[in-house]
Structures are given as structure tokens and as C-alpha cells.
Structure 1
Amino acid sequence: MNPVSLLESFFTRKAEFDIFPAGFDDCHDLSLLHAERFYQGWGDGEFHSLMSQSTVFGYTARPNNGISGLGGFVLAREAAGEAEILTVAVSNKYPRQGLGWRLMLAALRETRDRGAESMFLEVDDGNVAALNLYRKLGFRKVAERKGYYAAGEGQKSTALVMRLDLR
């Protein structure tokens, strides 16, 4: 390690995160992070509307060492024994720190507690990091939706539909 990098490491605190249930007060932060991570971000009102539904729940990852902001979040829905991940995002500031894993585990735990037997999600087939995470969690591809996601400048990408059996 060069001397400057070594010196910077002494003055830089690595973010540590706690996982909290998402609430209405989080809607603005959720919309900001969603817009950072997705081509078509959802607004505060969309998050508020979703979270007003009794079947929708979510979790946030927030730094616990004085760093402000949102590290990541997951939003899910459970109804009639099936669940789906509505959206999940981890800030570009905190890659490969296990936040996606921890958030998904929190959502899966609540989904099981609510009695769901399976969970579904959709993911862009080009999102390698997310695909790796979902596969490690046991999700398997069950369908494709070609041209599903807007990718900018008129381009479209394929959504993979994935399923995890919970029981």
C-alpha cells in the first residue's frame, strides 16, 4: 500500500450498518436511492402509496457510526401465500459490503413469518451482481420477459423472473 493510501485509511471510517423496518419517514430517501440505481426511479409518492398497503413491507440499511444517508433498502409484498420483491437497491457508495444479502435475508425472514410458501422477483439479465446474490440465496429462473426494462436511449433489456421456494 502506498503511503498516501495508508494515511487515508487511518482517517476514513468504514461504514457499518444496521437493518431497520422501513417506514413512511423513509420514502424520500428510498426515492433518492432508487433514482440513483434505476433508469426509471420511483418518486416519494409511489413509495408512500406502496407502503400504505398492509401487504407491503420493507427494510433499510443505515450507517450506525455517524455517517448519514441510506446504504440500501428492500421492499416486498406478501399475499395469499406468495411473496415478491418489489425493489431492492444498494448505494453505489457501499458495493460488496453484504448489504444486499442482509436486506434480502430480512425480507425472506418476514416473508416466512407471514406464511408465504414462495417468493418471486424480477431482475435485469445484465445485472450480474444481483443475479449472483439471488442465486446464492437459492432463487432459480422460471421465466423471461424480453424487452421489459427501459435501459435508456430507446434500448430495452430482458427481465428474468426468479422464484424461491420457502417451505
Structure 2
Amino acid sequence: MKAVLPHSLEFYPMQAADLDAVAQIEAGIQAFPWSRGNFADSLHAGYSAWVARLPDRLIGFSVVMQVLDEAHILTIGISSSLQGQGYGARLLQHAMHQVTTHGARRLLLEVRPSNARAVALYRNFGFQQIGVRKGYYPATEGREDGLVFQKELA
């Protein structure tokens, strides 16, 4: 079977019809996932919400809130079976391009310290850690900190 390369990935604005697939991916990659309702609320609020598709299926999503020249990645994810193949990098590039096109000069996000793959991806893209939000994320036992990263956009 021939592998599908990241260049076949396409991006579309998230629609209500995508919510079940998006929530299913989220549930497969997060121990404490956003609900379908959280994604629906993001659409209703007008956030920059996108899906990533291969020719045969939806494989990822991003939701970014932008206020004036600052944007904040609220959630971003790629189906667990396709992680580590370059799709997450392409999705992150797309999110950065979208907010830059709409005037953002700075991009922020939080990430769990235990999510080493995501931390490495953000660092690879030039994000700098600027802080820690103590007990930011729910965890199996108690809470987990959130590392705050930022990137200045050109």
C-alpha cells in the first residue's frame, strides 16, 4: 500500500457537519477531550476553526481565537494513527498562516509538559516558553501544569 504524503493534505473551514468527526478525533487523542459542544460553541463564536482532510477522510482540526493582533491556539490535533508523519506540522503552519493573514502578530498556546511530541513541534517552529500555568489541565490524579508558549509572527 502506498503511503499518503502530507502534500495531499487539504484544509477547509470547519462546518457543523464536521463536528462528529472532529469530536471523535479529539476523544482519541486527549484524556480530557473537548466535547462536540465545545467545538460547536467555537464555531458559533466565530473562531478560526479548520479541518485537515486527506482525500478519503478528515484527520485533524484547529481552533484559534484571535483578538486584534494576538491569536491563541485553543486546540489543535491530528488523528492518533497519523501522528508523527508531518500532518501536525502542516496543520500548525496553516493555522499560523490564517492568523497572520488576518493581522495577528503574536500567537500563544498552552501545552501539557507530558505531551513531549507537541512540545518538540512547537519548539521546532520557533515557539518560546514564556510561562507556566499551574494546575491548568485536568489529570488522572489532580492537575497538570500548562506550559505557555508564544511565537512572534512576521
Output the TM-score relative to the length of structure 1.
Answer: 0.83
- Alignment coverage as a number of residue pairs: 151
* Cα distance in 2 between the residues matched to 1:18 and 1:33: 17
Q: Once structures 1 and 2 are overlaid, which stretch shifts more, 15-24 or 107-116?
A: 15-24
Larger Rg: 1
Question: TM-score, length-normalised on structure 2?
Answer: 0.90
2:100 match: 112
What does residue range 7-156 of structure 1 map to in structure 2 within 5 Å?
A: 12-15=1-4, 16-54=8-46, 56-64=47-55, 66=56, 68=57, 70-152=58-140, 154-156=141-143
SS in 1 for 2:138: strand
Question: Does the Cα contact within 8 Å between 2:42 and 2:49 map onto a contact in 1?
Answer: no
Letter of the 1:155 counterpart: G
Match of 1:164 in 2: 151
**What runs of 5+ residues in structure 2 fail to find an aligned partner?**
none
CA RMSD of aligned residues (A): 1.5
Structure 1 residue 73: Cα displacement: 1.3
Once the two structures are TM-superposed, the CA of residue 141 in structure 1 deviates from its matched residue by: 0.4
Write the distance in 2 (CA, Å) between the matches of 1:155 and 1:134: 25
Q: Structure 1 stretches of 5 or more lacking a match?
A: 1-11
Percentage of pairs with the same residue: 29
